[in-house]
Structure 1
Amino acid sequence: MSAQINSGPFPVRGYGSFTGEVSEKASDSVPAWKPPVRAPRGAPNVIVMLMDDMGYSDISPFGGEIDTPTLAEIAEDGFRLGNYQTPPMCAPARAALLTGMNPHRAGFAYVPHMDPGFPNTAMELPADAPTLAENFRAGGYATFMVGKWHLTVESKMHDGAAKDSWPLARGFERYYGCMDGFTSLFHPHRIISDNSQVVIDEYPADYYLTDDLTDKALGMIGELRANDPAKPFFLYFAHQAVHGPLQAKAADLEKYRGRYESGWDHIRSARFARQIAAGLFPEGTACAPRNTEPGAEVVPWDELEAEQRQLFARYMEAYAAAVDNVDQNLKRITDHLKATGEYENTIIVFTSDNGATAEGGDTGTRSYFSRFGAPRFGLPEDWDADVARDPELIGGPRAYVHYPRGWAYASNTPFRLYKMHTYGGGTRVPMLLSWPAGLPKAAGDDGIRHQYAYATDVGATLLTLAGVSPLQQRHGVPAQETDGIPFDRWLREPTLDSAHTEQYTELNGRRALLDGNWKAVAPEPNGPGWEQGTWELYELAADPTETIDVAAAHPQKVRELAERWRAAAWHNQVFPLNDDGSFNRNRPATELLLEAPVTLYPGAPTLERFRSAKLIRLRSFTVDVAIDHGPGAAGVLVAHGDQGGGYVLYTEDGNLTLAYNQYGKMLCIGAPLEPGSHLVTLDFIARPGIKWDVRLLVDGVETARLENLLQLTGMAPFAGISVGLDRGGPVDWELSRRHGAFRYSGTLHRVHYTPGAKADYNPEQVLELDREMARVFE
């Protein structure tokens, strides 16, 4: 019998509202109800844990001295993939891992801090490429993500942007983390929960991001289990550690005090000896010698001055402490899984997105953004790439630091060079994979596998192990063919060869082609691309660390591999190459909207980093603040940035003050401010040499001036604009120590930003593609 519904529309789950007669026969306009997909009974949970910029040898299963007992346990329970490789930069590696497609086909020839308009730099995952999360979700899994996303173009990370490239739109049911490439571990500049900014006025004194991400991951798992005790989950845990700035908790720092005074040469030698003893490399393998390439050189530790050795050791203590803390937090997850009886049936993958980085330069830095984030053109002579700070601050919340590249040389033992290079130092990283219930090791199996595997293979392997079929379409469009090849067979049968035998690599014009035992490398950009003279050749079975160039002895093999690289490059939309840096300069006309004047009001969430930077970067600009300043009123009027660099305008004790954090060097100006209604103005005037002069005006009258400031540029200010308080990471540490976020107690009406003319040295070229296309058709 049919039931007549007379009380109006009611919801039908999955299909909105329905009014009328409900019958056993589905309406032509309403599809028949289908039960939700359930994963097969006993399907494993899957955890992929990805580190940022961690080298091959840092963790103990790969020869490191850093205390990582949880990772050692996972290695004991599972497998060490000694020849796992990845694109040599973070976002391309993550795109390849999540889509199973080579990075250029996935739209990520580089990191999403550029937008030149080519398919290989779309900086968004293709609409017809299902992600690993989308595949698992379609297979009946709950899908969670915490940590670093870095797969959305900068101009679409603000709160008003379309969110079709954010994690929830790419298969994750829950997300908590930072969508940018990195952040402070003590004061993250911007945290997103699902699709919304988490507004945090002040972080607790004991806050640490790795702990927070772990809390949220455990919370997601706990919420699932409270409602469904059997549904498997896929957790993608993408750490912000250990990308710069290097920061660690005080107790972990103390644990490593004095451990690195022996220097990077000794650490590399000791790690390599342990790698040989463990069987990661055969006896007789040569450890690559100290890097001597121009711009990549490593100074022998014994040639450093005593003061330098003491300072440089502090940097590595911070790095090691941060890795140690990751292991501690991983133990919290594995302990929880053991307590709930789920550890044995959970696949755990642990790896890194690329090799260790040389971005700290030859001496390291205590002012991260003045070295890493600084523009690469025409820096003035007085530009300070390492603002002197008390070494006791290294690793803590006040100093944004990175280690000297000598420690990256040690981290990448036994390979040569670093992140962004196509040698092993950029592409070979540790990988652990365990599944005690489903992939038990045979007696006597040490779990080490020497077969080649690539980032694109990870998803294919996990789907195969879990019994989940990959999607054949996405949003009604046939899915692109993937490049990944499952490697589960040689995990079970160590004598089998890898089915993945050829792989191209390219980044900024540096190229490589792996073909089984052979690897051709074109180490520098701007070469002809495939001519014999630009390529080196290595025979990997005898020389896995790429130390002996045999190109002269095998010219035909060089020509063959160079041509095969070119063919792979055309197939994978590698061209055009960003081998002259021009991609970084070209910006789409759509970004002009982000440079328009804006009025901000107290109580609004912090303006997103990139949106904020477009208002001030390499240009003049003014900030107008309208207030009713009552007697005794005090607090922050506007703040932009954090301890890495920024500026804050505030009133305190009857005075108006501008504090300018010049990459860690504090400069202040001020003047008395009488009660009353005022228009306070900051007038930033761009000068030659990437400098600003700043005038502080009250009701149009100049009251103070700062001259010859180094501009905040590149990635600074990293935190966005806050109005009426200094939210999150403080610009002025001492002001924060006195007052915290220091919310303004008077009446703040509005803050208005007016971007001015761009400086002559601003390299951006706006590509007004719509006008160019119109000209073509005319």
Structure 2
Amino acid sequence: MTGPTPAPFEPYRDWPGTARTTMAESTPWWPERPRARAGSPNVIVVLADDLGFSDVGCFGSEIPTPHLDRTAEDGVRYTNFRVTPLCSPTRAALMTGLNAHAAGIGFPTQIDPGFPGYVSELPVDQPVLPEVFRANGYATLMVGKWHLCREDDFSEAGSRHNWPLQRGFDQFYGFLEALTDFHHPHRLYEGNSVVHVDEYPDGYYLTDDLTDRAERMIREVRAADADKPFFLYFSHGAVHAPMHAKADDIAEHRGRYDEGWDVVRERRLARQVELGVMPPGTELPPRNSEAGHDVRAWSELNATERAVHARHMEVYAAMVASLDRSLGRLRALLAELGELDNTVIVFSSDNGAARLTDQPRPAPSWASGDDTGTATYFGYMQSPGVPPAVDEDLPARLDELGGPTTWPHYPRGWAMACNTPFRLYKFSTLRGGQQSPFILSWPAGIAQRGAVLRRQYAHITDVLPTLVELIGLELPVQREGRPASALAGTSLVPTIADPDAPSGHTEQYTECVGNRGYYRDGWEAATHRRPGVPFSQEEWQLFAPDDPTQRRNVAGEHPDKVVELKAAFDEAAWANQVYPLDEGSGVKHLQHPPRPAPRPLRILAGTPTLERHHASMLVQGTRWSVDVDWAYTPGDEGIVLAHGGQAGGYQLWVEDGALWFEQNQYGDPHRFGPVPLDAPSSALELRVEVTDGRWTATVLVDGTERLVVPGLIRFLSFLPFEGIDVGICRRSPVSWELYQRRRSFPFTGTLRAVTYRPDPDSWEQLAARAEQARELGLGLQ
């Protein structure tokens, strides 16, 4: 039986409801694509991380920053430019033109306690900077730190809806979270994919890598289209901890800080007055004296403290110089392309210079106080019970500071100097926490050149509307079919053109971890939060317009002004989703959307590194274990499993016929073994149990207990900072000594998988702690 005869082929077969036409008879139609206006400038926004107001040469620094200084000479500097006192909130405000809480990011994106101002991701209805530029025909490029999506979404299985490519960037190369290792970055992304790296080359440095990639992106765009402008967001990880720099760069600053922070403050202020950054007669406020923020006189330090602290600042200065060199490379490329004059360059920092925690810590024996800085950032910040071995040995290891075996952060005396001439640091609503250098240049588009200063109040929310007006962009009014919110910021264009033009931004609220502040027409009111103190008992300080360094609290002289600004803060806080305030109970870290209880996880050998957030959840709680599925044969060697890196972690490996276990206690290695493997074994189990806040590691071979190690450090929260590897130790090594001999040391035998068995009771404990935190917070209103 045969089917119907097919119809003959007809090249112009009619479609239903259409007339027969030829291509020559038809009118061509193409979908409209966004095109930039002829002659539109390129735009580069460079954002530093934790950079102080005075850290750039043209804002008073002794650190050589010739390329930033030249950029300033090509444009204008704003001397009263404000950001939020924290990284993610500033970045959210920059991206959206909204206040940070209104954009849903009132705190770094490691939280989601269930309140609109703290959802840790950008609003779905608000176009962000790259989407604005893309809609206007620009190529959109990004390198560096994103830090605008939830940590649940960092992994390959996470939602990418708030990653850079989904928020308007054509290309992205960088990292998604707050910080990373500059010598061995723990997790880089290219576009929507993780960059898989076993070992970084010797001499690798993140800022150089990001600059290489930015140059490549620019060259790619220009080779493909000679006329299409680009928008590049260069979001530095520098100078956030860990304060890492290349050895040669550090050496260039040797001896520069031997005179200490008091002298540096005085010299920077003198230079600021000379440059016009600060008005004549400006006086330094006294050294910070608030509890946990206080700084001793340099002259009171002993010789060892001065040597260690000076080296910390040499490392920091090297990081700042590398950031400047990065901009210099971009400027050189633009000059080679003939496009430097027609490129808008914006530069600022996301908050003031940062201090370490205000929690009291035991000082090393060589120190006469606790303001010592650290070579072990996570050890200092996360675990009060960590023995201070790394910092205890630091005077003998100064040449390692800033290198790959350390995770440094300078003492708060240097943060005070970096914020000259302002008080306090990152997190504070005083000016030291929120005043940043700001440079805007466009040689072909604005007439101002040379040492041009603007003293008008300006805010990070002003950047988006400024670029829109300055370049003549069309601002999208909706996103995904939803109307966008009105921008909180105002354009700086009138003040760029006229030094006497009034600021369009006359008032602004600030809030950070319960610290509150309000600016109105030069007057500023602010609180200095002490966690655990009821908000009703907090004192509001008041500073007059003629007191830029906030030396004198005049609240007692102007009580009506205090009442006025407190009421203004309250109104703005309700309008911008600031409430509920962070009272210090810790509830924001404990309360999160419902998650399933952790289940056993089998990780096959050869699996790329399990992302650090998901890896850390496997080792929380009171107990956990891991089973190794392998077939050991004498002569096999290599890493069995590794979790973490030089910042802290643990690993299990076989070498010379024996099993070894090592825990890196935030830079302090503790090795245990050997456990001889004399005969073939089909089963190996490592069980780590937590007792009395510490870990006890028990190694069993074929069910027989072979090694018991009590009193280990218990890694908390998001640590270890690198994820889990099976059969290799990728990137930053847990054991530097082993890495020097064997590098990443892949396992040579038959290793099928490891299975982690987390403690399901952990989530119930977390819920109980959250309830306790809520009860505590109820008494602090």
**Is the TM-score greater than 0.5?**
yes
Distance 2:620 2:183 in 1: 25
Q: Work out the CA distance in 1 between the residues paired with 2:19 and 2:191.
A: 37
Q: Say which SS state the counterpart of residue 708 (structure 1) adopts.
A: strand
Q: Contact 2:620 / 2:762 at 8 angstroms: preserved in 1? A: no
CA distance in 2, matches of 1:24, 1:581: 74
Distance 1:471 1:106 in 2: 17
> Aligned partners of 1:19, 1:656: CA distance in 2, in Å?
77
Q: Which residue of 2 aligns with 1:606?
A: 609
Match of 1:364 in 2: 373
Quick one: structure 1 residues 243 and 454, their matched pair in 2 at CA, closer, same or farther if it must change by over 3 Å? Answer: same
Is 1:579 matched with 2:583?
yes
Matched, 1:591 2:600: no
Superposed, which structure 2 residues align to 1:101-250 within 5 Å? 101-250=98-247
Aligned to 2:363: none
Look up the equivalent residue of 1:515 and give its one-letter code.
R
> C-alpha distance in 2, partners of 1:585/1:53?
22
TM-superposed CA distance for 1:500, in Å, is: 0.3
Deviations 1:129-174 (A, max 9, x none): 1111111011100101110011111111111011101111111111
Q: Distance in 2 between matches of 1:32 and 1:587?
A: 54
Q: Partner letter of residue 378 of structure 2?
A: F
What letter is aligned with 1:251?
A: D
The equivalent of 1:644 in structure 2 is 647
Q: Which residue of 2 aligns with 1:28?
A: none
Q: Taking structure 1 as the reference length, what is the TM-score of the superposition?
A: 0.92
1:530·1:566 contact (CA, 8 Å) conserved in 2? Answer: no
Cα RMSD after superposing both structures: 2.5
Tell me, yes or no, if the aligned pair for 2:687 and 2:697 is still in contact at 8 Å.
yes
Match 1:625 to one of 624, 628, 636: 628
Which one-letter code corresponds to 1:437 in the other structure?
A
Q: How many aligned positions are there?
A: 743
- Correspondence for 2:477 among 472, 478, 481: 472
**Counterpart residue number, 2:468:** 463
TM-superposed CA distance for 1:19, in Å, is 15
Residue 210 of structure 1: how far off its partner (Å): 0.2
Give identity over the alignment, percent.
Answer: 44
Report the secondary structure of 1:588's partner residue: coil
In the alignment, the residues of structure 2 paired with residue 648 and residue 385 of structure 1 have an alpha-carbon distance, to the nearest angstrom, of 19
In structure 1, how many angstroms separate the alpha carbons of the residues matched to 2:515 and 2:18?
65
* 1:75 correspondence with 2:82: no
CA contact (8 A) 2:141 2:170 kept: yes
Q: Is the 8 A contact 1:96 1:106 kept in 2?
A: yes
What is the deviation of 1:464?
1.5
Amino acid at match of 2:126: A
Contact 1:6/1:20 (<8 A) preserved: no
SS at match of 1:135: helix
Please report how far the alpha carbon of residue 675 of structure 1 lies from its aligned counterpart in structure 2 after TM superposition.
5.0
Match for 1:520: what amino acid? A
Aligned-partner SS, 1:553: coil
Q: Which residue, 441, 456, 463 being the options, matches 1:451? A: 456
**1:757: how far off?**
5.5
Letter in 2 for 1:35: E
In structure 2, C-alpha distance between the alignment counterparts of 1:142 and 1:675, rounded to whole Å: 61
Other-structure match for 1:567: 571
- Is contact 1:521-1:536 (8 Å) kept? yes
Match of 1:283 in 2: 280
Displacement after TM superposition at 1:436 (Å): 0.5
Structure 1, unmatched stretches of 5+, are 10-17, 26-30, 769-778
Per-residue deviation, 1:760 = 11
Q: Name the aligned partner's letter for residue 475 of structure 2.
A: P
CA distance in 2, matches of 1:432, 1:421: 23
Q: How far apart, CA to CA, are the structure 2 residues paired with 1:245 and 1:381?
A: 18
Shift of 1:269: 0.8
- Aligned partner (choices 489, 500, 504) of residue 509 of structure 2: 504
Q: TM-score, normalised by structure 2?
A: 0.91
The AA in structure 1 aligned to 2:462 is D
Q: Distance in 2 between matches of 1:226 and 1:719?
A: 38
Aligned positions of 1:379-528 closer than 5 A: 379-380=384-385, 386=391, 388-389=393-394, 390-441=397-448, 446-524=451-529
Secondary structure at the counterpart of residue 332 of structure 1: helix
Q: Could you tell me how far apart the structure 2 residues matched to 1:584 and 1:162 are?
A: 22
Judge which range, 271-280 or 699-708, deviates more.
699-708
Partners of 2:134 and 2:581 in 1: CA distance:
35
Asked if 2 retains the 8 angstrom alpha-carbon contact of 1:241 and 1:323, the reply is yes
After TM superposition, give the deviation of residue 219 of structure 1 in Å: 0.8
Partner of 1:39: 36
Q: SS state of the match for residue 121, structure 1?
A: coil
Query: Whole-Å Cα distance in 2 between the matches of residues 604 and 760 of structure 1?
Result: 27
Q: 2:562 corresponds to which residue?
A: 558
Give a deviation string over 1:208-257, Cα, whole Å, max 9, x none.
00000001111111111111111011111111111101000111011011
Q: In structure 2, what is the Cα distance between the partners aligned to 1:4 and 1:580?
A: 77
Q: Do the aligned partners of residues 470 and 310 (structure 1) sit closer, same or farther apart at CA in structure 2, a change above 3 Å counting?
A: same
CA separation of 1:685/1:231 partners in 2, compared to 1, >3 Å: closer, same or farther?
Answer: same
What is aligned with 1:328?
325
SS in 1 for 2:44: strand
Asked if structure 2 preserves the Cα contact closer than 8 Å seen for 1:503 and 1:514, the reply is yes
SS in 1 for 2:223: helix
**1:658 alignment partner AA:** F
Matched to 2:267, the amino acid is A
**What is the CA–CA distance in structure 2 between the aligned matches of 1:488 and 1:138, rounded to whole Å?**
22
The 1-side partners of 2:475 and 2:48 are apart by 25
- Structure 2 residue aligned with 1:634: 637
SS of residue matched to 1:339: helix
Q: Which SS does the other structure have where 1:295 is aligned?
A: coil
